């Protein structure tokens, strides 16, 4: 069987698709990847002649994918399968007459089961993890159990990316996941809904063995231009024994600098020393908001101010580069709360920051919170493709301009605190597009050089900026 994966935009390696491709290839099937923002997907499909087109999508791009699928259906015959966060939490999209099936939750076993049945001409009845359309009827099947032993999975299919590596943001960087799942229930995240989907029947966090991770990295080092590793786990700093083994083996067998995500409330000096000794170059830590009430009552982060300050200090003391993530426009918050987020970043002195407007995605607690207080405008269909640019949280025109401007000027205020006395005036000006360009360039430089340890050549710098601008580019069917 021939399976064409369709993805919207390559920012970093699409590990989910690459795992699916590996499982299918291991079973003898053929796969290809088409990237919407980079190529003529219709032409690619016509050349490949797929039996299955598998769309992987998050909320915000679903309407475009549905329109693309409708066009492809007019050109050829195939099974249209949709998976990823949006179909999982908004399976109502099965109502579209050109959607043949939706995969809810983890997809490796589910997609392989579907392809095998299609290949053998077998009926698709009782296919776990799938909602299926057949003769106008919709069959809603329960999800299959999560894969408990991640070591049983083949490594991600890097060959799928071989012709598209020039589209990735950073040269010489590879993304790796050592674990799946998160034990926390932040209100803006899907983790609580994901746990409910599986009824708590399996562990929320599953981790590969250190040896299994090292084996993948050795392959990457031998077969690819590996200069930097991004560990894409939600929370890397969990499990002291695992980290101790990793710190002992990684420097000897891999020895490549890396970035990982950490949670401030889990940080200890001993734990962070293990991460530093392993060879970490930088760590990413979620602040989200400088207001403790918003952080813990509204966002459900469970993280005190002093824990954030202590974690940042430990990070600096160990010589690690600090990258923070932040949110603006939180329901029941104000511009003053957002400015306090700036002040917290000024105090902990990150080397670079990422700032997003809070997006109330379907089936999240924050969406229910905003809706119950009359702070939500629009529906799930109105969510934009990028959480960085537009939010569905209700604001008046003046406040919306301030929040959008602050998002773009955030990095300047953090890196140059002497600008703060003029902050309220600057964010009130109708200069959003100018601020956007300036913020992209400056923060792109900081992230490029300080966090991902990329060369400071004009080519590498422009490559990074190009990817930031692409997030705002509209989709066009070529």
175 and 63 belong to one structural domain: no
- Residue-range definition of the domain harbouring residue 367: 169-470
Q: What share of the chain is helix, strand, coil (3-state, %, to 5)?
A: 45, 15, 35
The pTM of the full predicted model, rounded to 2 decimals, is 0.92
240 and 367 belong to one structural domain: yes
**26 in a domain, yes or no?**
yes
86 and 216 belong to one structural domain: no
User: How far out from the chain centre does Cα 262 lie?
Assistant: 15
CB 225 within 8 A of CB 173: no
**382 in a domain, yes or no?**
yes
Q: How many domains, the chain?
A: 2
What is the total residue count of the chain?
478
**314 in a domain, yes or no?**
yes
- Backbone φ and ψ for 350, nearest 5 degrees, come out as -70, 155
| pLDDT score for 477 | 43
| pLDDT score for 243 | 97
**316 in a domain, yes or no?**
yes
**478 in a domain, yes or no?**
no
CATH number (domain holding residue 125):
3.40.50.2300
Residue 465's contacts (CB-CB under 8 Å, 6 or more residues apart) are: 440, 441, 444
| pLDDT score for 472 | 53
Q: How many CB atoms lie within 10 A of CB 109?
A: 16
| pLDDT score for 478 | 41
Residue spans of the chain under pLDDT 70: 165-170, 200-202, 380-382, 384-389, 455-478
**347 in a domain, yes or no?**
yes
240 and 378 belong to one structural domain: yes
End-to-end CA, the chain: 26
| pLDDT score for 458 | 59
Q: Which of 132, 157, 190 is the last residue in one of the domains?
A: 132
| pLDDT score for 261 | 97
Q: What is the DSSP letter of 175?
A: E
Strand partners, 228: 173
Strand partners, 359: none
| pLDDT score for 471 | 54
Q: CA 332 to CA 373: how far, in whole Å?
A: 9
């Amino acid at each position: 069987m021939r399976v064409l994966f369709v993805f919207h935009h390559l920012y970093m390696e699409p590990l989910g698709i690459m795992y699916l491709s590996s499982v299918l290839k291991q079973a003898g099937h053929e796969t290809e990847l088409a990237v919407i923002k980079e190529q003529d997907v219709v032409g690619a499909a016509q050349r490949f002649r797929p039996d299955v087109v598998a769309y992987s999508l998050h909320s915000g791009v679903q309407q475009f994918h549905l329109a693309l699928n409708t066009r492809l259906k007019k050109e050829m015959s195939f099974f249209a399968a949709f998976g990823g966060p949006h179909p999982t939490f908004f399976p109502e999209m099965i109502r579209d007459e050109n959607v043949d099936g939706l995969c809810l939750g983890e997809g490796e076993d589910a997609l392989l089961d579907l392809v095998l049945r299609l290949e053998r001409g077998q009926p698709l009845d009782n296919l776990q993890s799938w909602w299926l359309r057949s003769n106008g009827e919709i069959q809603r099947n329960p999800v299959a159990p999560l894969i408990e032993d991640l070591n049983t999975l083949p490594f991600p299919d890097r060959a799928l990316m071989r012709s598209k590596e020039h589209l990735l943001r950073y040269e010489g960087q590879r993304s790796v996941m050592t674990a799946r799942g998160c034990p926390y229930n932040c209100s803006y995240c899907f983790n609580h809904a994901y746990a409910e989907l599986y009824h708590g029947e399996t562990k929320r966090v599953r981790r590969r063995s250190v040896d299994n991770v090292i084996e993948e990295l050795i392959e990457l080092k031998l077969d690819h231009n590996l200069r930097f590793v991004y560990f894409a786990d939600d929370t890397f700093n969990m499990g002291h024994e695992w980290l101790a083994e990793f710190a002992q083996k990684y420097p000897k067998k891999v020895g490549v600098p890396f970035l990982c995500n950490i949670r401030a409330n889990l940080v200890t000096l001993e734990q962070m020393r293990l991460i530093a000794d392993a060879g970490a170059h930088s760590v990413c830590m979620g602040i989200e908001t400088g207001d403790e009430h918003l952080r813990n009552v509204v966002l459900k982060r469970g993280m005190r101010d002093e824990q954030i300050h202590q974690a940042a200090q430990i990070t600096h003391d160990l010589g690690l580069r600090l990258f923070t993530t932040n949110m603006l426009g939180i329901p029941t918050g104000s511009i003053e709360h957002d400015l306090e987020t700036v002040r917290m970043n000024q105090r902990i002195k990150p080397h670079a920051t990422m700032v997003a407007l809070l997006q109330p995605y379907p089936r999240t607690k924050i969406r229910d919170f905003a809706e119950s207080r009359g702070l939500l405008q629009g529906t799930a269909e109105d969510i934009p493709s990028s959480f960085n640019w537009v939010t569905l949280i209700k604001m008046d025109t003046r406040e919306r301009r301030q929040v959008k401007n602050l998002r773009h000027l955030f990095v300047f205020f953090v890196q140059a605190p002497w600008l703060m006395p003029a902050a309220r005036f600057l964010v009130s000006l109708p200069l959003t597009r100018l601020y956007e360009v300036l913020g992209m360039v400056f923060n792109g430089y900081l992230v490029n050089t300080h966090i991902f340890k990329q060369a400071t050549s004009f080519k590498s710098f422009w490559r990074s900026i190009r990817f930031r601008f692409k997030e705002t580019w509209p989709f066009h069917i070529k």
